[in-house]
Structures are given as structure tokens and as C-alpha cells.
């Protein structure tokens, strides 16, 4: 782990729990794509880059989650590099408490203020085309978050962030965090239009062909549609959200802690919102409780 690995041309990645991209754009000047979980990770990432002769001038973030931007503060302080993030996500780098607030829907409990959820603040600037070095571009990847982006290098390497879950993650976790399952599916469907290349999701090994990418895409589509189907099947009779969530998890013999329940619960709420927009589910209030009910057999 933490080895700098060449993908193609001037494009590399550093193998950490979150795959960190490195693009050498001129002489020994390079930029990172994300910075890792925290300063400890970032220190080892920087050591790998420095030992290979690279000078880091910027970190280009894919989105605002702590496992992707937790090393920003260390990189900024140690190298003086600039930090860039998509506009809709940028404030959460400057004010990291916004992430658990968005997850919890209120001031977060102590379980959601651990470093997994709460990165060190960094002075992020808005990501714009003008700040990119020659040979690097970005493209939207909404679904996991609203403003997430991926990056493409002129070597034909695509860094896909958390736009697609690995087989291992899907087997381990019933639900991965999504702000909009509908947008997540649309993003995955758009990958069918990408040219041949190398594709680097954040939490699995690089995919060396489009065929590998499309195979994983189909598994993700199947998983998301399966969750939507599970929700609809549970709502043959109206249920409160808590009863629905408990039923979904009990069916898989899952026993979640506070943090996991918050993450899964947030995603299930996103499924309900998208299903409601499609007319598949509706709400009603009874004696100060909100009930969800199925209206018709419409999926995502």
C-alpha cells in the first residue's frame, strides 16, 4: 500500500484505502486527485510522490466526503498547494461539520463527528476549467453526492470517484451511501458512452478495459433496482420510516450501530424521495406519524 503505480503515460495512482490519482502535467510538477482519509495518509502519499521526483502543486477533489479530502489540510500546510473542489461541495471543505449535518438532518450526534465523517478544514477554491493544468479535465458524476465529479487525463485514464461500487462493497453492504439513486443510475448509464480507456473507481482496483467497467456497471444497476424493489415490496401496507428501515435490515440479519443506521437511513430516504417523484410511493400523516405507502408498481 502507498506505492505509486503507473497507469499510462503521465498518469499514476497511489494505492490507499481511497485510490489517489496523480497526474504529472509538466516537468516534475504534478497534481493529486483527492488526498485520502487524513493527515497520516496524506503524509505517506506525499512521501511516495516526492520520492518519485514529483512536486505537488494542487489537489483536485472529486467530492467533499472526509475519506477523499481528509488529507487536504496536511497537503496545503506542507506543500503550499492549492485545493479545488466542485462548487456545490466546496463549502463543506471549509466547514466540514456540514457533512454530518447533511447526513443527520440536524446538528450531528457525537457518533457522527468522528474523523471518518469530519475532515480537517482546508481552504478550498471553486473548481473551474481555467484552473486545470493542460491534459486534465473534469466531468459530472452526481448520485453519491450532488456535485461529485470525475477527472480524465489525456492518457485516457478516468478517475471515477464513488460513482460505482466494487463487487466487494456490494457484497458486504446492503446499501451504499447515495444522495439520489436516480442520478446514480443515470451516471452509471452514461458510462456506456465513454471511449475505451482505464477506469479508476475510488474503492476498488483499476478497471483496465471498458468491458470490465460495463460489467461492474450492470452489477450496480441490478443492486440499486433491487433495493427499490425491496422497498416497494415492504410497502404493501403503509409503514413509518423506522418500521420500513428495520424491516429491510432485519430481512438481511443486519445489526447496525448508530453511524451505520444513519448512513443507511439517509440513503433509504433518498430512495423514497426518488420513488415519490416517480409516483411509486406517497405519504400520509396519522396522529403525528408519517407513513409511506406504495401507490403503483413503478421502479427507478
Q: Grid coordinates in use for 265?
A: 437511513
Numbered ranges of CATH 3.60.15.10 in the chain? 4-163
* Positions of the chain with pLDDT lower than 50, given as ranges: none
* 231-294 belongs to CATH 1.10.10: yes
In the three-class reduction of DSSP (H, G, I as helix; E, B as strand; rest coil), residue 1 is classed as coil
Answering whether pTM is above 0.85, one says yes
In sequence order, the 6+-apart residues with CB closer than 8 A to the CB of 199 are 157, 158, 160, 191, 206, 207, 210, 212, 213
User: What does the pLDDT look like over 49-108, one tens digit per residue?
Assistant: 999 999 999 999 999 999 999 999 999 999 999 999 999 999 999 999 999 999 999 999
Instruction: Kindly state which CATH superfamily the domain 4-163 is placed in.
Output: Ribonuclease Z/Hydroxyacylglutathione hydrolase-like (3.60.15.10)
pLDDT at 190: 97
Numbered ranges of CATH 1.10.10 in the chain? 231-294
Rounded (5°) CA angle 61-214-19: 30
Amino acid at each position: 500500500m502507498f506505492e505509486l503505480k503507473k497507469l499510462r503515460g503521465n498518469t499514476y495512482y497511489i494505492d490507499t484505502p481511497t485510490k489517489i490519482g496523480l497526474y504529472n502535467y509538466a516537468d516534475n510538477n504534478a497534481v493529486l486527485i483527492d488526498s485520502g482519509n487524513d493527515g497520516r495518509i496524506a503524509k505517506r502519499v506525499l512521501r511516495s510522490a516526492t520520492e518519485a521526483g514529483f512536486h505537488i502543486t494542487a489537489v483536485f477533489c472529486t467530492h467533499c466526503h472526509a475519506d477523499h479530502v481528509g488529507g487536504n489540510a496536511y497537503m496545503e500546510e506542507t506543500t503550499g498547494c492549492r485545493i479545488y473542489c466542485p462548487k456545490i461541495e466546496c463549502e463543506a471543505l471549509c466547514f466540514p461539520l456540514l457533512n454530518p449535518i447533511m447526513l443527520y438532518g440536524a446538528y450531528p450526534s457525537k457518533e457522527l463527528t468522528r474523523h471518518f465523517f469530519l475532515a480537517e478544514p482546508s481552504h478550498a477554491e471553486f473548481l473551474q476549467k481555467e484552473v486545470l493544468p493542460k491534459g486534465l479535465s473534469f466531468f459530472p458524476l452526481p448520485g453519491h453526492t450532488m456535485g461529485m465529479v470525475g477527472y480524465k487525463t489525456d492518457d485516457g485514464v478516468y478517475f471515477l470517484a464513488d460513482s460505482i461500487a466494487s463487487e466487494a462493497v456490494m457484497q458486504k453492504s446492503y446499501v451504499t451511501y447515495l444522495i439520489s439513486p436516480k442520478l446514480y443510475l443515470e451516471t452509471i448509464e452514461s458510462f456506456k458512452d465513454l471511449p475505451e480507456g482505464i477506469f479508476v473507481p475510488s474503492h476498488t482496483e483499476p478497471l483496465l478495459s471498458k468491458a470490465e467497467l460495463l460489467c461492474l456497471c450492470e452489477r450496480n444497476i441490478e443492486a440499486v433496482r433491487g433495493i427499490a424493489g425491496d422497498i416497494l415490496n415492504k410497502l404493501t401496507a403503509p409503514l413509518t420510516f423506522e418500521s420500513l428501515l428495520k424491516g429491510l435490515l432485519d430481512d438481511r440479519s443486519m445489526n447496525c450501530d448508530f453511524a451505520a443506521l444513519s448512513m443507511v437511513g439517509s440513503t433509504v430516504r433518498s430512495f423514497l424521495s426518488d420513488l415519490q417523484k416517480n409516483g411509486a410511493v406517497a405519504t400520509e400523516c396519522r396522529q403525528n406519524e408519517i407513513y409511506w405507502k406504495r401507490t403503483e408498481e413503478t421502479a427507478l
